[in-house]
C-alpha cells in the first residue's frame, strides 16, 4: 500500500488538587490496522510509570491498553505518538439500485451470510436509545424504494446543512433529542444523530473515532497541539459493505481520515477513561497534532 503518511501526537494531562492513591485506566489510543491503513510506528508513554499494564482487544477489535497506578500521584500524563500510512479506501462501484428497505430486510431476515458486526450495529444503546424525533428527521431522506447510498448521503448532507458546528455547545452526555432541538453541536453530536436516524430505520451503522487532517489558514504555519479528535459514521449495506460518512464536513472519508477505533457510540471509543481513589478536584488538558510526512 502506498499512501499518505502522518505523524500523530495525542497527549492527555490530568492534574489533581489532592493525591490519587489508586488509579485504573483504559486507553484506546492505538490506531487500527486496516486494508487502507498501516501503523508504522506507535508509542504510548504513561507518566508516572504504571505498576501494571497490558494490551487486549475489545469486542469491536480495538486495542485497549489497561494500566494501573498504585502509588500516590497528583498528575497523570498519557502521550501517544504514532506514524501511520493511509491509502485510498475502496472505490464505490456503480451497481444496481439497492433500496434501503432491502438493506433493512437483509439485517432482519438474512437470506445469506451477513456481516456479524452489522447485525450488532442496529441495536439501541444507553447513549443512543430509540428516538422518535430522530426517526422523524430521517424520514424525508428515505422515501419508499430510494437507493440506500443515495438516501444515506442525503441524510449526511442535510445534517451538515441544517446544524451549526459550535464547540462547547454540548457535552458528552447531550442527547440526540437535545441536539435536534438546538440544531447545533460538534462532530460527536452529528455522528450520534446520524446513527440514531439510521438505526431508527433498522439500518446498521457504527461510530468511528480518529483524526482528520485540517489545513491552517492561508499564510499561517501549522501549529502543534491545536488539532482535535474527530468522529464520523460508517454505514453498512450488502452491496457496498462499510461506507464512511462524515456529516460534520459533508463528505465520505478519504486519505485525510485516520481511524483510531470504532463502536456502537462514543462510550465505546473514549480515548482515556478510568476510576481513581482520591484526587479531589481535577483538571484535564488534551493536545492533538496531525502532521503530514513528506
| pLDDT tens readout for residues 174-207 | 999 999 999 999 999 999 999 999 999 999 999 9
Q: In whole angstroms, what is the distance from residue 176 CA to residue 275 CA?
A: 27
- pLDDT tens column, 272-289: 999 999 989 999 999 999
Answer yes or no: CATH 2.60.40.2250 is held by domain 4-87+270-293.
yes
Instruction: Output the pLDDT for position 272.
Output: 96
Pick the closest to residue 149 from 217, 236, 87 (CA basis): 236
Look up the pTM and report it.
0.94
Pick the closest to residue 59 from 223, 261, 252, 228 (CA basis): 261
What are residue 85's DSSP bridge partners?
Answer: 5, 38
C-alpha cell at 186: 460538534
Q: In whole angstroms, what is the distance from residue 49 CA to residue 103 CA?
A: 49
Residues of the chain with pLDDT below 70 are: 1, 111-114, 216-226
Which residue, chain included where needed, has cell 450488502?
238
CATH number for the domain running over 100-254: 3.10.620.30
Instruction: Output the pLDDT for position 226.
Output: 47
Domain boundaries, the chain: 4-87+270-293, 100-254
Phi, psi of 36 (to 5 degrees): -105, 0
How many Cβ atoms are within 10 Å of 179's Cβ, its own excluded? 24
Amino acid at each position: 500500500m502506498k499512501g499518505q503518511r502522518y505523524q500523530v501526537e495525542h497527549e492527555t494531562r490530568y492534574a489533581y488538587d489532592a493525591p490519587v492513591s489508586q488509579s485504573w485506566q483504559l486507553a484506546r489510543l492505538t490506531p487500527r490496522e486496516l486494508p487502507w491503513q498501516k501503523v508504522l510506528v506507535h508509542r504510548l508513554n504513561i507518566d508516572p510509570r504504571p505498576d501494571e499494564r497490558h494490551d487486549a482487544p475489545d469486542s469491536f477489535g480495538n486495542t485497549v491498553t489497561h494500566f494501573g497506578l498504585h502509588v500516590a500521584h497528583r498528575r497523570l500524563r498519557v502521550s501517544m505518538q504514532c506514524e501511520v500510512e493511509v491509502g485510498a479506501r475502496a472505490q464505490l462501484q456503480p451497481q444496481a439500485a439497492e433500496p434501503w428497505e432491502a438493506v433493512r430486510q437483509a439485517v432482519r431476515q438474512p437470506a445469506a451470510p451477513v456481516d456479524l458486526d452489522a447485525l450488532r450495529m442496529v441495536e439501541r444503546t444507553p447513549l443512543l436509545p430509540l428516538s422518535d424525533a430522530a426517526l422523524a428527521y430521517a424520514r424525508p431522506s428515505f422515501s419508499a424504494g430510494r437507493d440506500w447510498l443515495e438516501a444515506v448521503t442525503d441524510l449526511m448532507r442535510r445534517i451538515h446543512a441544517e446544524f451549526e458546528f459550535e464547540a462547547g455547545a454540548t457535552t458528552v452526555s447531550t442527547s440526540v433529542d437535545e441536539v435536534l432541538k438546538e440544531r447545533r453541536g460538534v462532530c460527536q453530536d452529528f455522528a450520534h444523530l446520524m446513527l440514531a436516524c439510521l438505526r431508527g430505520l433498522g439500518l446498521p451503522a457504527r461510530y468511528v473515532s480518529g483524526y482528520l487532517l485540517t489545513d491552517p489558514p492561508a499564510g499561517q504555519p501549522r501549529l502543534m497541539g491545536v488539532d482535535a479528535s474527530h468522529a464520523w459514521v460508517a454505514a453498512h449495506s450488502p452491496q457496498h459493505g462499510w461506507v464512511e460518512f462524515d456529516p460534520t464536513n459533508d463528505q465520505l472519508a478519504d486519505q485525510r481520515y485516520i481511524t483510531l477505533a470504532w463502536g456502537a457510540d462514543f462510550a465505546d471509543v473514549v480515548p482515556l477513561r478510568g476510576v481513581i481513589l482520591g484526587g479531589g478536584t481535577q483538571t484535564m488538558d488534551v493536545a492533538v497534532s496531525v502532521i503530514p510526512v513528506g
